[in-house]
Amino acid sequence: MTSRKKIKARVIAREQKDTLKAQRLADKVDRVVYEIINEFFNYEYTSDNTSLLLLKTLPSRLQTQAVKEILKESGDLINDKLDYIKSDFGALSATGATIISQADRIISQAVIEANIAEIEAIIGNYTQDIIRQALLANISGKKIDYPKIHNDAKDSFVNKVYSNTINTADGFERGLGIKKASDLNLKYFIYEGGLIQTSRPFCVARAGKIFTVEQLKSWDNGQKLPVIPYLGGWNCRHHINWISDELAQELSKDISMKGF
């Protein structure tokens, strides 16, 4: 397998692994939230005035150890990203210098905590919407059908948790990668990743091509989001694959070096 094919295969394998891990996390969050709220409506809520007061307790009921343990799993993706960076830049370092510093680990922990807080906010917004619907059902004299409400909102809820998790992890990897590239004086990278039907024109024009860090810093993705850390925009799954000057020259025979 050529160097080019190895690079692409590695990126695809990592992307598939990251996607699966983020999706599993989102599904687990959805399942535990559903179980807690459904149990409340099945066994405690009766639509009388006393039960209406119990609605206020729903947010605190979701602050359980089970939820907290699941949210901690979001850190697995960030730790995987540290391993990717350590492996990739370790191979590019001529001195064998330490790639991941203590400062990097402190930053990674802050990113994990921020992502957990964002998922908690998603859960909080979802819960408040359930409370509003329960109150409206009570006012109209109807019984709340939580399983139906959950089923209608499931895809949106799961997607928000998934997207937040994967965008945070990818953004962290891109940002830290640029810092490591600068430390090692790396100038070239491949805008790596496949294309799908909904790929943005920005990504279509760049996928699989070699660029310089100066070009990267000058780009505008047209999404009103910074290229670093979002590249083509929210939910962009493309990667910045840093390569040596020597490999850039070797691959440039087969890969376009565009002047974007």
| Residue pLDDT, tens place only, 123-180 | 999 999 999 999 998 888 888 899 999 999 999 999 999 999 999 999 999 999 999 9
pTM: 0.90
DSSP 57: G
From 136, 160, 184, give the residue that closes a domain.
184
pLDDT-wise least confident of 29-43, 56-70, 149-163: 56-70
Q: Are residues 225 and 120 in the same domain?
A: no
Amino acid found at 59: P
CB count within 10 Å of CB 129 equals 13
Tokens matching residue 141: 């004299």
Please say if the pLDDT value at position 260 is more than 80.
no
DSSP 56: G
Tokens matching residue 260: 């974007």
Q: Are residues 149 and 235 in the same domain?
A: no
Please say if the pLDDT value at position 1 is more than 70.
no
Tokens matching residue 248: 């850039």
Contact 127, 37 (CB under 8 A): yes
Length of the chain in residues, anyone?
Answer: 260
Cα 4 → chain centroid: 26
Positive or negative torsion for Cα 218, 169, 188, 98: positive
**DSSP element (H, E) containing 39:** helix 3-43
Q: Are residues 156 and 250 in the same domain?
A: no
Q: Are residues 148 and 212 in the same domain?
A: no
Q: Are residues 51 and 170 in the same domain?
A: yes
- Number of structural domains, the chain? 2
Tokens matching residue 200: 């943005």
**DSSP element (H, E) containing 210:** strand 210-212
DSSP 163: H
Cα distance between residue 165 and residue 163, in whole Å: 5
Q: Are residues 154 and 256 in the same domain?
A: no
Q: Are residues 137 and 203 in the same domain?
A: no
Q: Are residues 191 and 175 in the same domain?
A: no
Q: What domain range includes position 24? A: 3-184
Q: Are residues 180 and 55 in the same domain?
A: yes
Please say if the pLDDT value at position 20 is more than 80.
yes
From 162, 184, 206, give the residue that closes a domain.
184
More confident call, 234 vs 95? 234
Q: Are residues 159 and 118 in the same domain?
A: yes
From 135, 152, 184, give the residue that closes a domain.
184
Cα 105 → chain centroid: 18
Q: Are residues 177 and 219 in the same domain?
A: no
Cα distance between residue 81 and residue 167, in whole Å: 12
